[in-house]
Amino acid sequence: MIHVILHRFRIPGVIKCGFLILLIACFSVFFSFVFLSQGEIPELDYEDDLNYSAKPTSSFTQDALDGNFEKCIFSTITSNLLLKGTNSSLEDLFPDVSTETIKESITVKESSLFPILKKFTDMMSSFFRIETVLIEPSVLFCMLGPRFKKLLIRRNFHLKTFAKSTNILTLGIRGSDVAAFKKFDKEEKLRVYGFRMQIVNESLLPWMKAGNDSIFNDHFISHIFFKNKDWVIHVVPFYERGDFLWHASLNVNKNDLFQELYFAESDSAYENFTYQSLGFKSRHLTNINIPSNPHFFLFETPSSKFLECNSTVVSNFFKFNQTGIPKKHSSLSVENFNKRIEVGLQELKAIFNPLLMNFWIWSGTMLGWYRQCDVIPYTSDADFAAWASQVDDLDDILQRINKSDNLELRQRMGIVEQSLEFNLNCHKLRADVFFLYPESNGTWYAGHRPSKGYYFKYHHPNFTLCSAELLGHKVLVPCEAEKVIVTEYGSNWMTPVTSWNYESSIKNRGPNIYWDKNMLAKVYLDN
């Protein structure tokens, strides 16, 4: 039909071609409008060639431990032994000690741990066929070499000054091993070893699968206590959840003993870890195991409190936004986009975790987790954040990024002391890492406009860090997530926004701050 019209009016060939091109363009615009009006963005049709295997957890190295770490097992543990080689004061490690009662030394464990540890771990290994892992924080910290003790103290790691916990020890086991406690007539055997056992059961949680050996009908074992006349052994089962480990809070008998326990106040999450026997030091320590990276295990503890996805928020979001939510990213399918989020997350863990640096999901990525328990299905990037105060060696971090096969540093903006930000490329996914700085009444991080030579501050209230799950992985999030989200996105944060400008859309933006011209080459570096 179109060809007949063009021929009848004897329109020259060049004009015919131009007319056809214009017509095709109009049809393209029309169909794009139709897709967008339906909340759909057509997915590009190509086969994703991204193959990724997460880096294995770093193995145990004896360098992490003090050369005479066995003293922490064979001797009484005092604060002097804990602080050996750190040049730190008592209040650095025990900030809740009253300044009026500070002494030169505090007794942390009243007597040698070796007799009770050997008896208990031998019993668990020979009778229950279970490997236990020593996770008592004061003992693990005591065993570390000075370098990691100093680093943990710089990272604000603290120990609690318990008045009555000098006779309590905490060990961990795999959740799959708790089935052993249901298979034996154990009371008589335990009496031979001098122990009484108390099992704490909790109602089965939705994410737990009934077919797992560690789950029994409608309940699971959350904590186990072994008691003799001198000691309380607190055993914490760590259950596999996604690719990380999770343990339950202790929700019963919140008596004086409860106040003295670690690993009891909240559900918590840890990166999956292996363990190392201390038998390399002495055959008498063969059945005593510790986490393969004891310093990182301790580093995780303050931010381990686990926040379940808020099902009420998610339900309300989808209830009030049943239409108008685009279901596709602009250039990748949801599956391929999320795969890149996972790769970026795993690669950043491989970079930051060995340095004992906290990093967490932030901005739009945090909003998706809190509002939808997922990644926002129409977002264009991933957002992470870290504390600028934990950047001990920027060159070391940059070298680790450069060695990654899956991350590329596209641009570094700012300096460590002021407004640092990384713009990374992860297989065509943009990933931003913002660094936060303290201010008088909260924190701030920077947005940049390199072409204009200025940055500006996003202001936030203070917050602490907790653990959560995103795409089956452990992530860190602000514990006060909604307060942070409202600050950045305003009271309408439940409403999807598909057109977002990092300068004008955000609610907590400060004024432009211009760099001196002689600083521009230093603060804006492109790769």
* Helix/strand/coil (H/E/C) assignment for every residue in 159-207: CCCCCCHHHEEEEEEEHHHHHHHHCCCCHHHHHHHCCEEEEEEEECCCC
* Helix/strand/coil (H/E/C) assignment for every residue in 309-367: CCHHHHHHHHHHCCCCCCCCCCCCCHHHHHHHHHHHHHHHHHHHHHHCCCEEECHHHHH
Cα 22 to Cα 19: distance, rounded to the nearest angstrom: 5
- The closest of 143, 141, 142, 115 to 233, measured between CA atoms, is 115
Q: Give residue 40's pLDDT.
A: 38
Evaluate if residue 502 carries a pLDDT over 90.
no
Cβ atoms of 434 and 421 within 8 Å: the answer is: yes
Q: Give residue 526's pLDDT.
A: 84
Look up the pTM and report it.
0.88
Distance, C-alpha 396 to centroid of its chain: 21
Which of helix, strand or coil describes residue 463?
Answer: coil
Q: Give residue 352's pLDDT.
A: 97
Beta-carbon contacts of 322 under 8 Å, excluding residues fewer than 6 positions away, are none
Percent of the chain with pLDDT over 70: 84
Instruction: Name the CA radius of gyration of the chain, rounded.
Output: 28
Residue at 60: amino acid letter: F
* Tens-place pLDDT, residues 180-192: 887 666 777 788 8
Cα 166 to Cα 110: distance, rounded to the nearest angstrom: 5
Banded pLDDT at 35 (limits 50, 70, 90)? very low
Sign, CA dihedral 228-174-172-215, equals negative
Q: Give the residue-averaged pLDDT of 150-172.
A: 84
* Tens-place pLDDT, residues 272-317: 999 999 999 999 999 999 999 999 999 999 999 999 999 999 999 9
Banded pLDDT at 166 (limits 50, 70, 90)? confident
- Residue with the larger pLDDT of the pair 476 and 204: 476
Maximum Cα–Cα distance for the chain, whole Å? Answer: 107
- Residue with the larger pLDDT of the pair 258 and 206: 206
Return the structure tokens found at 233.
């052994």
Q: Give residue 153's pLDDT.
A: 95
Q: Give residue 32's pLDDT.
A: 44
- The closest of 253, 238, 363, 355 to 306, measured between CA atoms, is 238
- The closest of 208, 200, 177 to 263, measured between CA atoms, is 200
Q: Give residue 64's pLDDT.
A: 94
* Tens-place pLDDT, residues 233-246: 999 999 999 999 99
Evaluate if residue 253 carries a pLDDT over 80.
no
Cβ atoms of 87 and 153 within 8 Å: the answer is: no
| Helices 311-320 and 363-372: angle between axes, nearest 10 degrees | 90
Provide the total of helices (H) and of strands (E) in the chain, helices listed first: 17, 23
Cα 285 to Cα 117: distance, rounded to the nearest angstrom: 9
- Residue with the larger pLDDT of the pair 91 and 352: 352
Question: How far is the CA of 27 from the CAs of 7, 20, 21, 30, 397, in angstroms?
Answer: 22, 11, 10, 5, 49
Banded pLDDT at 12 (limits 50, 70, 90)? low
Mean pLDDT of the chain: 86
Q: Which contiguous run of DSSP H or E holds residue 32?
A: helix 13-37
